[in-house]
């Protein structure tokens, strides 16, 4: 049965993308993902939570290749021997969960087995080439160019809602639907945000650009995405991974293969 | 005739490519799946509980909130909230809550803390964003912001007991990704997530549990101006 499903899915992917327009950056058939909770071995204990804590959301990236990946344990991260955040492999499928990935600080969540954890997922967007463009733009900004030169990859609202907080490296989006958790976006280009505190936004509306802001410090270029929900009387950090994978497939019309 | 033959051959060629691609992909994905299952990744399986999670409304004790305000528990009158809420609550909310889904609790703009990290914190006047099920209040400071998310709604799982979430409670302190900390509290039946957000994340300990509890200690019931209570 599994073979039949795999073959049918592959056939659909291989054939349905034949009339994609030329501007598509998605390669037919290459989208795949590891299951929720399947972290890089040795980087923590994940939780296999397939719950769509935020249903029917849009991907924060539209028509841009976006891969959930570990920001720490892949090239450019502090846990990797390879220091090049623009390494091509950082932009290749499969998606991999990082919710519950090990951190030193004592942070809680709804269902991670431990408390010293990563409270969201990290997403790399674009390609090796766009990463190099961003790196050059960052250098140019350091030399006095306007911060807008780094506005290469747009990030959009995942749902209709309201911008409820803008910090030094954080933007909160509170959805209209109380069943949807609050979204927290970290590390956008904070000096060029097209939104203000209190703005009402529509699902898919531009709210910022992919960057590496971290309150005056640097991190790697990535989007850190969180979901915070009131569950059983407490504000809890829940896994955005399954919701993100579903949104990626829905928003960008790319069926993805689950690898287990 | 020759053209028709060419078209047929092209069609067959396309289907051949599709089928070959599909078979190759199936083999690759099957191998990858086998490898993943046999790998040493750790994860704990939980049931897909999407069908068991429901959104419920909390009962808000407006009588008690109005009484607390009447007895002068540091009531303040605020500037008009920023923008307008997309929809206003319709339930009977008592005198205090005519434009609010939950009692409007706000901290003092000057927080005296027992924390060695900061003895006194000065914040901006709050910006209040109303919504159909609560509000968000934001108070700014150069190094730390206060964000309060308040709601009358929550998700409940099948194993949740009503006793687990009383009208009033103080939850546990938890650190926040990138720097900061927060505590969920219950007051008058409503839920409030009190967060202190660090603006300079290199200072990992910019927020302590004591500071968050000092902010909670300073909370008082606030009142909206008459023109915001329609």
**Residue contact A119–B160, C-beta within 8 A:** no
Residue A83 reports pLDDT greater than 80: yes
Separation in Å, CA of A197 to nearest CA in chain B = 9
Contact flag A105-B175 (C-beta cutoff 8 Å):
yes
Q: Are A182 and A227 in contact (CB under 8 A)?
A: yes
Please report the ipTM that was assigned to this predicted complex.
0.88
- Over the stretch A29-55, which tens digit does the pLDDT of each residue have? 589 999 999 999 999 999 999 889 998
* Residue with more model confidence, B214 or B36: B214
pLDDT above 90: residue A158: yes
Smallest CA–CA distance, residue B94 to chain A, in Å, is 23
| Tens-digit pLDDT profile for residues B163-177 | 889 999 999 999 998
A48-62, B9-23, B77-91 — which is least confidently predicted?
A: B77-91
Q: Is A5 on the interface with B (CB under 8 A)?
A: no
Given a contact cutoff of 8 angstroms between Cβ atoms, the answer to whether B112 and B214 are in contact is yes
Residues of A in contact with B26 (CB under 8 A): 3, 6-7, 10
| Chain A partners within 8 Å of B131 (Cβ) | 162, 174, 176
Report the candidate in B182, B197, B152, B163 with the shortest Cα–Cα distance to residue B59. B152
A165/B191 touch (CB, cutoff 8 Å), yes or no: no
Q: Do A107 and B165 touch (CB under 8 A)?
A: no
Which of B169-199 are b and which e, b meaning 16 or more Cβ less than 10 Å from the residue's Cβ? eebebbbbbbbbbbbbbbbbbbbbbbbbbbb
Angle at CA of residue B138, ends B136 and B139, nearest 5°: 155
What are the residues facing B131 on neighbouring strands? B134
3-state secondary structure of A204: coil
Distance from CA of A105 to the nearest CA of B (A): 7
B25 contacts A29? CB cut-off 8 A: yes
pLDDT tens column, A17-31: 333 333 445 555 589
B136-187 tens-digit pLDDT? 999 999 999 999 999 999 999 888 887 889 999 999 999 998 889 999 999 9
Whether residue A224 and residue B82 make contact (CB cut-off 8 A), yes or no, is no
| CB–CB contact B174 A52 (8 Å) | no
Q: Which two tokens stand for residue A157?
A: 């609202």
**Cβ-Cβ contacts under 8 Å, B178 against chain A:** 169-170, 186, 214-215, 224
Q: Establish if A4 touches chain B: CB-CB under 8 angstroms.
A: no
Chain B residues near residue A167 by CB distance under 8 angstroms: 145, 197, 199
């Amino acid at each position: 049965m599994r073979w039949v499903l795999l073959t049918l899915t592959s056939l659909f992917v291989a054939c349905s993308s034949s009339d994609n327009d030329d501007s598509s950056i998605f390669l037919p058939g290459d989208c795949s993902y590891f299951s929720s909770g399947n972290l890089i071995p040795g980087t923590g204990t994940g939780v296999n939570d397939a719950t769509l804590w935020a249903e029917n959301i849009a991907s924060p990236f539209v028509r841009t290749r976006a891969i959930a990946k570990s920001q720490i344990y892949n090239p450019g991260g502090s846990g990797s021997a390879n220091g090049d955040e623009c390494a091509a492999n950082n932009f290749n499928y499969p998606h991999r969960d990082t919710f519950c990935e090990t951190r030193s600080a004592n942070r809680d969540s709804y269902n991670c087995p431990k408390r010293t954890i990563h409270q969201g997922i990290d997403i790399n967007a674009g390609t090796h080439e766009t990463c190099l463009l961003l790196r050059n733009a960052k250098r140019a900004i350091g030399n006095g160019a306007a911060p807008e030169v780094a506005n290469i990859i747009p990030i959009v609202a995942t749902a209709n809602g309201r911008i409820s907080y803008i910090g030094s490296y954080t933007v909160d989006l509170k959805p209209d639907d109380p069943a949807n958790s609050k979204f927290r976006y970290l590390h956008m280009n904070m000096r060029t945000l097209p939104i203000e505190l209190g703005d009402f936004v529509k699902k898919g509306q531009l709210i910022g650009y992919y960057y590496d802001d971290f309150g005056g410090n640097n991190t790697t270029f990535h989007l850190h995405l969180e979901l915070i929900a009131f569950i059983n009387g407490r504000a809890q950090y829940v896994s955005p991974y399954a919701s993100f994978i579903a949104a990626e497939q829905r928003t960008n019309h790319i069926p993805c293969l689950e690898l287990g | 005739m020759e053209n028709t033959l060419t078209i047929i051959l092209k069609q067959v060629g396309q289907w051949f490519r599709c089928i070959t691609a599909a078979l190759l992909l199936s083999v690759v994905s099957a191998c990858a799946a086998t490898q993943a299952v046999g790998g040493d990744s750790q994860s704990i399986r939980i049931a897909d509980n999407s069908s068991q999670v429901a959104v419920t409304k909390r009962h808000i004790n407006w009588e008690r909130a109005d009484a607390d305000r009447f007895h002068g528990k540091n009531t303040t009158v605020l500037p008009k909230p920023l923008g307008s809420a997309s929809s206003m609550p319709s339930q009977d909310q008592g005198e205090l809550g005519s434009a609010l889904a939950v009692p409007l609790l706000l901290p003092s703009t000057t927080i005296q803390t027992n924390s060695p990290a900061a003895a006194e914190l000065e914040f901006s006047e709050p910006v209040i964003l109303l919504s159909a099920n609560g509000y968000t209040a934001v108070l700014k400071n150069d190094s730390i912001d206060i964000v309060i998310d308040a709601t009358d709604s929550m998700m409940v799982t099948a194993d949740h007991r009503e006793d687990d979430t009383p009208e009033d409670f103080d939850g546990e302190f938890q650190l926040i990704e990138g720097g900061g900390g927060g505590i969920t509290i219950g007051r008058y039946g409503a839920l409030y997530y009190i967060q202190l957000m660090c603006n300079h994340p290199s200072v990992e300990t910019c927020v302590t549990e004591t500071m968050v509890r000092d902010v909670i200690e300073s909370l008082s019931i606030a009142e909206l101006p008459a023109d915001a209570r329609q």
